[in-house]
Structure 1
């Protein structure tokens, strides 16, 4: 059917020349003619975003273990009871801040050892039962791949698809955390845990696992690296790699974190130490000691210059200790802005390197001190039905914050809970052959091959609201052999038989944060990604590809379809000018975004759209031009006048688009097609069920209800 074009509004005074041209095109003006701007729609039912419960393009939904598959069940202690706002009461793990004061380990980290012991025992049992079968399958696969001698291809070993079969899974594989059997006690406090291969950490309904506030748990070595700072010397910034993650997993087969409970890293929590000499920064920017003195087991004198990002040592201050988010804000927004070298040494919630079949299912994740989940080099990564909400109401109820949680006195917003990315999946640094992890200090006898690629990734039915990227595919590492042009992330690589695509982001609800992103690390390439049936509301960004010539690379064949965006700061943001980081020693890396496709996208509210390619000779370097090559089909704003458009160096093919897109010789924009006001969004996509409240999780953000009001 052909839709009858809407009339031009009667009042056009003050409308920009671009928008006026767009309005004229709706009635045949501007040289296009009425035939050129007619909009046709395919007869049939319009897709309704947010209502799909079954998708034949996806593998089967994961499941929770059953009782017979449990290695060990651990009860929450009776004295740890979560408050209705999701936080622990101050008396749960009390501590006294100050120079020369150590927290009681039995109070601030009571559960780490018993949870780890259960994981280790389960890991050993799993390895004994199925380790030989996994090793034999891998050896056979490696022999076959070596004989084939495929050029420019890493040895992958046995595939994750093969290892998903029952013979490679132990009869008992889960460690289950449950509420206290007497009905009092629903929480655990733990330091860093090591997840063994083949083991599932099952956090039961009603249970919350809280991260210990003891900085020493994340930085156990006297000589460093040091955690809980914004600098590790007078000239070197902090780094999250200085800290152990809360959940660590390397070299895994068939591992998972599942359940209807929650993990709260308490990024809002005041940092404490069980070692009275360990340096802690105060909110008045003084510090309790220096790392130089700490390494010698001595206390620095008052007035000594801090080496953790603070000013001077002070034993007289009455200021509270900083929280993890205080450090993040100070390092990123204050010190980095002043010196260009500030950053925070904060622990991440989960870090996984090299895995086949890694699953996160139904669990709720809150308030990470840094990134929530960082999986690298995984064949068969499934994140399904997970909720991430940061900051949660527990953060606003933080007793140390007294209503003004940041050290600056500011209340938490999406702009000041820095570097709390929800999911950052990417490739690993290289291919490897390594023993599987069976416990915190143990490993299997046989070694297993991993090719280092991110493959067979499913991100589906999740709810994400955070202070940074909601999900960002990272092409920063390159596991490809020398002289290979293979992309670090390629959705067409080794696609399994139980799914249609190898890289799928579908059926998700995105709230606060930077939306669905690719980059900023794109230097090793990202290609063949399918993004469909997703909604965004009140997000900083909706759809985003970001890079720069410090981290640039090729991004291609990215397909977005059936997307609803409402009240985003930037509905569409595609730019190769993300930041001005120092260039690598090898020189500039040019971002190249091409074959990007948008189909059936509706945009509601006042928002910005940025479509930029890479201009020749950018930054003063003799660099080639790489225009953004993109097609937009049925991309419709509810009010085109509310779209703030920025575009340059782009080759755009448009049809059924009412965004203010015009060709420009000055800005090097080539447009195939004509933008027109005459597009009916209701004929393109049904967004009536797309925008929903964040699901009630018992500890929601104060903004977590009424999202769609």
Structure 2
């Protein structure tokens, strides 16, 4: 892989400048502006990191429960798209040919795994829970056996993987499927060369005949749509040792026209007409022409010739037109993956493309590992169109990161409450071996060696839920909570290459708090925002002990974006706002290349005329240097900042409540800035290319 070389080793004398082999600074390191220092840490070259757990491994052939071959009728095109003739039809047999057989294989494997290790898992968890109860630790939810304990071989079945492979008798290399349920203990192995395509049939994602409904922008005159109205493409709850792995890819095809195997199901067209109403659909009837739509459209028109909208059409309409920042409107689009309550959940080696909404939403997971995953949205497949018109959206805009709204790569968070639950062994079954405890926290999370380029947040930890007892003082996300012994930190984002999108973006849901996150050795190339924390007075919450180190940022619109004023949404109770509080934020060794903007905003006193004190942004910036400081625009307010070796135009301001410890200097040299010479590489992969194309290797 281009740009990755053997890790640079640092002597004891060098640690202060280049950190340990992981790219983190040594604990005793003290940066100074004028001390002698060796060569700076080289971002993007670390291949071994002692601070992380061991890298995931693919299953062996002997660990496979069953192998499914692709049908020769389904062949991926060079653009990454599936040929339009492959699923041209109106029946579920044509539109969704592989869901049933893939789910049957997953269910059979899940039942076999549970029969072999379910009782052992339940017994281990019960023993751990009893010990925790006996300890009577105040304000700590019972978590049962840890993910680290359950990762031991005794809790893993001898066969646990369902493998999807290319056809052995022809060109077939693709599967078309609707929503799949991942059972506990099972790995879905998508082999190299295989693409799993999401069905275009809306009926696969619409679980309820009487609502809430999928594929709309509004479900009433006053209520917006929601992704929760749709089943995810891959989902799973109450899991131990589950994974989605392999060298293949998943394409949600959010760029494709939505169709329905049920002609009565309401769909919106690009002319904003609809095919039916939900009221008539629930009654098994067809609404007459001219009837007002109840899905965000205008009027029913059964004779219209305009095509149906795509999932991204719905996202643009709901977010950019019907909603904006304060209105009513949002898309009911399916998410690619949603997992709730798990111990040891792994995504490894796979490529994820073109989600209709968020790509991966893991909540309440102990032991979340996302390693060597590629997320690229949109791809060239979004532009593939036999008519040759570039497949524009309903307003004529060509596919781009701007038109793929709300396609976050990873949105990890805590779950709403602790619970004791039987493991899921299949799409309709749970374990009879007993129940196990989940405390609802997101713990021991690692995002490492990934390549991410999408239309929204790339990695967005969300502290929206706190499953602790009320008043416990604990955080929704706390990287220091129950850290496993096979790693140094409990929440790490390291060694990633990030391209389009909003970078590492904490929030905006921070109401339950986010703390103790380590972000190091990452490159950001062409991101809309690179390092970001966002919240507002409709959310509030503390964000603290966030540590950024050894970061390269090139050509980002907003290299640093920290704001307590993310949106202008009205408060549910105008006299009781919630207060965002960002403090103890550390930024060490950040190198900014190209023109950009920087926003550093804490929460202002008496915002909106409601009496309260200011909550200033508390941040230390050390060795934060721009190649072109004259091309950096900085906005600061309500901030207490410590500056050491910084050349950004940051100034004290009594009017804006900005207090500085130290000063910035325009004339500082970037000779001792973190080394970005090998940080920027083309997005890897064959046949999954961005509409922006590639450049010559090593070009900057």
TM-score (ref. length: structure 2): 0.94
Q: Which residue of 2 aligns with 1:483?
A: 471
Give the secondary-structure state (helix, strand or coil) at the position aligned to 1:40.
coil
Paired residue for 1:68? 62
Contact 1:219–1:226 at 8 Å: present in 2 too?
Answer: yes
* C-alpha deviation, 1:406, in angstroms: 0.7
- What's the offset of the Cα at 1:414? 1.9
Match of 1:57 in 2: 51
Cα deviations by residue, 1:221-253 (Å, 9 ceiling, x for unpaired): 211221000011222111000000000110000
Match of 1:461 in 2: 449
After TM superposition, the structure 1 = structure 2 runs for residues 622-633 of structure 1, keeping only pairs within 5 Å, are 622-633=611-622
2:374 to 379, 383, 387: 387
- Distance in 2, matches of 1:580 and 1:593, equals 19
TM-aligned CA deviation for residue 42 of structure 1: 4.5
**Helix, strand or coil: the match of 1:132?**
helix
Moved over 6 A (4+): none
Contact 1:268-1:398 within 8 A present in 2 as well = no
Do structure 1's residue 80 and structure 2's residue 69 form an aligned pair? no
Per the TM alignment, residue 487 of structure 1 is displaced from its structure 2 partner at its CA by 0.2
- Deviation track 1:410-454 (CA, whole Å, cap 9, x = no partner) reads 112222210000000000011111111000000012111000000
**Conserved in 2, the CA contact under 8 Å of 1:39 and 1:678?**
no
Decide whether aligned partners of structure 1 residues 375 and 42 sit closer, same or farther in structure 2, where only a CA change above 3 A counts. Answer: farther
Equivalent in the alignment of 1:443: 430
Aligned pair partner of 2:590 in 601, 608, 617: 601
Which of 121, 134, 146 is residue 108 of structure 2 equivalent to? 121
Partner of 1:285: 272
Whole-angstrom CA distance in 1 between matches of 2:51 and 2:468:
28
- SS of residue paired to 2:672: helix
Per-residue deviation, residues 452-505 of structure 1 (Å, max 9, x unmatched): 000000000000000000010000111111221100100110111110000000
The residue number in structure 1 matching 2:20 is none
User: Separation in 1 of the partners of 2:108 and 2:599?
Assistant: 53
1:580 is displaced (CA, Å) by 1.4
Deviations 1:281-328 (A, max 9, x none): 000000000000000000000000000101000011100000000000
SS in 2 for 1:144: helix
Match of 1:652 in 2: 641
Hey, what does 2:10 align to over in structure 1? none
Secondary structure at the residue paired with 1:241?
Answer: helix
Helix, strand or coil for the counterpart of 1:439?
coil
Q: Which residue of 2 aligns with 1:360?
A: 347
Deviations 1:31-68 (A, max 9, x none): xxxxxx99324422310000000000000000000100
Q: Distance in 1 between matches of 2:133 and 2:36?
A: 50
Are the aligned partners of 2:503 and 2:524 in contact in 1 as well (CA < 8 Å)?
Answer: yes
Aligned to 2:602: 613
**Count of aligned pairs between the two proteins:** 667
**Gaps (5+ residues) in structure 2?**
1-12, 14-30
C-alpha distance in 2 between matches for 1:370 and 1:661: 37
Q: Could you report, residue by residue, the CA deviation over 1:58-108 in whole angstroms, capped at 9, with x for unpaired residues?
A: 00000000100000100000100000000011101113xxxxxxx121111
Q: Does 1:503 align with 2:461?
A: no
Whether 1:148 and 2:135 are equivalent positions in the alignment is yes
Q: Do 1:475 and 1:523's aligned partners in 2 also have CA atoms closer than 8 Å? A: yes
SS of 1:119's partner is: helix
Mapped to 1, the partners of 2:572 and 2:235 lie a distance apart of: 29
Determine the C-alpha separation between the residues in 1 that align with 2:654 and 2:461.
Answer: 33
Equivalent of 1:173 in 140, 160, 168: 160
1:228 pairs with 2:215? yes
CA shift, 1:195, in A, is 0.1
Cα 1:278–1:399, aligned 2, differ >3 Å: closer, same or farther? farther
Contact 2:400/2:691 (<8 A) preserved: no
Q: How does 1:464-613 map to 2 (within 5 A)?
A: 464-585=452-573, 587-613=576-602
Distance, in Å, in 2 between the alignment partners of 1:694 and 1:58 is: 24
In 2: Cα distance, 1:566 partner to 1:698 partner = 25
Secondary structure (helix, strand or coil) at the match of 2:117 reads: helix
| 8 Å contact kept, 1:142–1:158 | yes
Counterpart position of 1:43:
37
RMSD: 1.5
Q: After the TM superposition, which of the residue ranges 633-642 and 680-689 deviates more from structure 2?
A: 680-689
| Cα deviation digits, residues 627-662 of structure 1 (max 9, x gap) | 000000000000110001100100000010000111
Q: For residues 166 and 536 of structure 1, what CA distance do their matches in structure 2 show? A: 38
- Aligned residue for 2:543, secondary structure, equals strand
- Contact 1:269–1:400 (CA<8 Å) still a contact in 2? no
Q: Secondary structure at the match of 1:146?
A: helix
Contact preservation (8 Å) 2:463, 2:514: yes
CA spacing shift, 1:337–1:678, aligned 2, 3 Å? closer
CA contact (8 A) 2:378 2:691 kept: no
**What secondary structure does 1:127 align onto?**
helix
Tell me the residue number matched to 1:318: 305
Secondary structure, counterpart of 1:331 in structure 2: helix
Q: 2:415 aligns with which of 425, 428, 450?
A: 428
CA contact (8 A) 2:326 2:568 kept: no
- Aligned counterparts of 1:364 and 1:194: Cα–Cα separation in 2: 19
Deviation at 1:583, TM superposition (A): 1.9
| Contact in 1 for aligned 2:382/2:391 (Cα 8 Å) | no
With a CA cutoff of 8 Å and minimum separation of 6, indicate the structure with the bigger relative contact order: 1
Equivalent pair of 1:693/1:704 in contact (CA under 8 Å) = no
In 2, the alpha carbon distance for the partners of 1:401 and 1:195 equals: 38
Instruction: Give 1:640's aligned residue.
Output: 629
Answering whether residue 660 of structure 2 is matched by residue 671 of structure 1, we say yes
